[in-house]
Amino acid sequence: MKNKLILIVLAFALLALNTTLAAPELVPLQQQSQAALISAEVFMRHHYKRIPLDDAASAKIFDNYLKTLDGEKLFFMQSDLDQLADARSKMDDAILKQDLSIPFAIYNLYQRRVTERINFARSLLLKGFDFDKKEYYQYTRKNATWSKSVSEMDDLWRRRVKNDWLRLKLAGQDDKSIVETLSKRYDNSLSSLSKIKSEDVFQYFMSAYATTIDPHTDYFGLRAADDFDVSMKLSIVGIGAVLQEKDEYTTIRELVAGGPAALSGKLKVGDRILGVGQGEHLPVAEVVGQRLDDTVALIRGAEDTTVRLDILPAAATLDGQHSVISLVRKKISLDKQAAKKEIFELKEGAITRRIGVITLPGFYLDFEARLRGDKNYKSATRDVSRLLTQFKKDKVDSVLIDLRNNGGGSLDEAIELTGLFIDKGPVVQELDSKGKVNVSSDTHAGLVWSGPLGILINRGSASASEIFAAAIQDYGRGIIIGETSFGKGTVQSVVNLDQLVKSDKPKYGELKMTIAQFFRINGGTTQLHGVKPDIRLPTMTDEEDFGESSYRNALPWSQIKPASYLRYADLTGIFPKLLAMHNRRVSSDKDFQYLKEDIAEFEERRQKNQISLNEAERRAERQAQEAKIKLREKSQGRAAGKPSLQDDGLQSNERNLDADLAMEQARKNAKDVLLNEAVHIVSDEVGLLTTNLAANTLH
């Protein structure tokens, strides 16, 4: 009887929430059709590959568009694809004839299918699930076939929702809380869908078109172009707050030290922004329920202008007292994404070595600030140079540059950064679409760091990271540690379409377009093959799923004539000794062996690609995982405690903000086993080298 009452209460709760949000039918704007045609003309005339826009290209665009919208095959069915069969050959016409009605019709169908699936998911919450049954859920479906019937799709979603429920149950939530959590999750999904705009659909379609030409060509709408600009400048003009959307409220997740928000003393983490007003006198516009990027756009603005925020304090209830505060916008430096340093001290017997580590997340450069003569313009090379100078004062024995997950950035910065470690010479070769080779060199006399050097890379190290790492390797200037890099050997340039057609206001966006292929100074290219490490470390990355080789339309590997350069040293002679020392050390390093165990388990799960939906099996797996962690903590002499990174079944915006921030911090504080070992390897390098590398160029 008690269980029946609970289900009745839950049913009424769900009925109250079950008000379907009908997402509006979206239509293209005239300027979007114009932007599509202008983009196509630029691609066909100036792209490195110059692929014609015809029926063959149309089929690829169609497939890529579907992959963009529904890459996991969770919403469209085979019958939908049959219905859309004629559209497969009309994507080129949509662009060339400036009629985007078909791409938008495909999106509107997708939108209806998502709404249907989310509402079906909510209906399952009324029924509950049998967790004693032996069945499985396939969680990666990119290689799956499209569902052939509604019943097949229903079964897929039943398993999907059952897994969502089971994750929350294993984390300790009761049935009532689970229903409330998942109901809110599905409501938020529908709410997000209803906020999609015409410009978003156009962005999806144009990116699908651009990336069929090559993986690194893309289209940026106005907002995407602004975000790309911020990532290169590492600065914005605003209030200095990291924001997130939480339950329809724009919530302050972090205050940037030294920014207007932090200096005011009037804002705290967890405060909610109810409205935004421009200047001291214009009315405050409500932003509750508004898209996060729309709210961010209102808060950003010109430097030294005033923005007013209507704030509901973190501790207040939803009907609590709120207040309006005024802040003056300032230029905010995104220091968390800039180069930073750390010094490791290693003791080996009577010898103590100091290893300076520089973590570089990207090759950033504020082009505009440099052009206008700003002496303090943001630059990756300038920041690294400053840190290297500090290292010399700190008397470090060697330097390790950590380029893991550095996806690149400015080509100029890659060349300039190499120049900190060599005394003039070629760094990279570029081959344009006409077959002309241009050699880009470091032309600055002298170097900032002449001592032993190591570069740590992984599969996420791409483009400018690969140019830099390859040059260091070719010169014999340092050792490369880690895993094979991404394999991106192409050069992109940004084309502002508004400037191209002389539009008096921004409306067409920008293109990021491949214009050349770059080659190492030894004549090879990093394209597809990447930069291969001298000392390899274990990895969880599957090269078939991530990296240049995972793209079907990637350019092939090729080779040109080597540039004229002199190596600083031949380090290959010490590699066998470094490898032997590495293997000997990690064989008794418990953390390293644990990492290898985790990688093996991860690979096994990836190959299996399914998870049990039986509660007893899943609970046993969870308990085994907790026991393994506690055993590891005990063996390392650390105090055992509840694992902070165990799956709680929640999405980031569903957690209590304090708990989410604590989880984020726990990830940051987790021991970086690979970095620690890389530090030991460069320390070994110091012991094996007897000369100043940069002072002994080979002849």
Q: The tokens of 424 are what?
A: 């003039």
192 part of the active site: no
Contact 548, 407 (CB under 8 A): no
Determine phi and psi for 344, rounding to 5 degrees. Answer: -105, 135
Q: How is 635-650 classified by DSSP, letter by letter?
A: HTTPPP---TTS--S-
Q: Which of 550, 638, 644 is nearest to 590 (CA)?
A: 638
Q: Phi/psi class of residue 425: alpha, beta or left (left: φ > 0; alpha: ψ in -120 to 50)?
A: left
Query: For 340, which DSSP code?
Result: E
164 three-state secondary structure? helix
Q: Name the E strands within 587-636.
A: 611-612
- Which residues have CB under 8 Å from 2's CB, separation 6+? none
Helical axes 150-170 vs 101-124, angle rounded to 10°: 50
What stretch of H or E contains 210?
helix 198-213
Rounded distance between C-alpha atoms, residue 162 and residue 137, angstroms: 9
442, 474, 660, 684: which is the annotated catalytic residue? 474
What stretch of H or E contains 457?
strand 453-457
State the CB neighbour count (10 A cutoff) for residue 60: 19
- Which residues have CB under 8 Å from 594's CB, separation 6+? 632, 673
State the CB neighbour count (10 A cutoff) for residue 13: 16
474 part of the active site: yes
569 three-state secondary structure? coil
488 part of the active site: yes
Determine phi and psi for 90, rounding to 5 degrees. Answer: -115, 5
183, 385, 463, 465: which is the annotated catalytic residue? 463
304 three-state secondary structure? coil
> Any idea what the Cα angle at residue 148 is, between residues 145 and 150, rounded to 5°?
125
58, 488, 498, 534: which is the annotated catalytic residue? 488
Q: Is the dihedral of CA 41, 43, 47, 49 positive or negative?
A: negative
Rounded distance between C-alpha atoms, residue 206 and residue 513, angstroms: 13
466 three-state secondary structure? helix
Query: For 318, which DSSP code?
Result: T
What residues are labeled active site? 463, 474, 488
